[in-house]
Amino acid sequence: MSVKERKERDRAARERLILATARELAEQQGWDAVTTRRLAERIEYSQPVLYSHFRGKREIIGAVALEGAAELAAAVRIAAAGAEGPRERVAALARAYLAFAERNPAVYDAIFQLDGGLAFAREDTPEPLKDAFAALLENLAEVAGDGVHPGLFTEVFWASLHGLATLTRAGRLPPAETESRVQLLVGRLAVV
């Protein structure tokens, strides 16, 4: 039975290769450049091999998004854990979130902008997505303020960060004053 196991290992490795390659290509040249032909060529297999791992391009984007969501959650938790006091914790969280979006634009797009066939804000929402929201909630609940539902506060705070991230990335906001915007946002939204 060792033969079967080896094949399964190889298959899993190839799946990781596909995702890593898709992500790399997307970060280098944007998701539009991630065509099934180019992706197949880079992993040195033919196109149909991709379809033996994923239902289609959208599912590949979705898989990259889930990876990214886990990383985003980790980045947020690490940043928040390294800060003293509620105010600084929230500011650190905000900076970490925006830094992730700036450093991994393609992955951020996969999570929040593109259609990766993922369900959100529902019961069947994949675990990494729920966990990313949880990572925000954990650190934001303490500054939601009296009588304000922590979940609702987290949604609003998250939406604001998302707006800053996307508008900055799309060139809609000049990137120079990002820190000023974070200061303003945290100062106003967080109740310390």
Shorter beta-carbon distance to DNA: residue 28 or 35? 35
Shorter beta-carbon distance to DNA: residue 35 or 183? 35
Shorter beta-carbon distance to a second copy: residue 8 or 115? 115
Contact flag: residue 37 with DNA (CB under 7 A): yes
Q: How many angstroms separate the Cα of 42 from the Cα of each of 11, 52, 58, 138?
A: 17, 17, 18, 40
Binding at 123: pick from a second copy, DNA, none (beta carbon under 5-8 Å per type): none
Of 166, 146, 144, 165, the closest CA to residue 154 belongs to 144
Contact flag: residue 5 with DNA (CB under 7 A): no
Of 164, 162, 161, 141, the closest CA to residue 153 belongs to 141
Which of the residues 54 through 93 are near DNA (CB under 7 A)? 56-58
Cα dihedral 130→125→100→90 (10° resolution): -30
Binding at 57: pick from a second copy, DNA, none (beta carbon under 5-8 Å per type): DNA
d(CA 21, CA 59): 14
CB of 2 to DNA, least distance (A): 8
Q: 127-140 and 150-169 are packed helices; what angle lies between their axes, rounded to 10 degrees?
A: 110
Q: Which of 28, 29, 47, 183 binds DNA (CB under 7 A)?
A: 47
Contacting residues toward DNA, per CB under 7 A: 3-4, 7, 34-38, 45-49, 51-52, 56-58
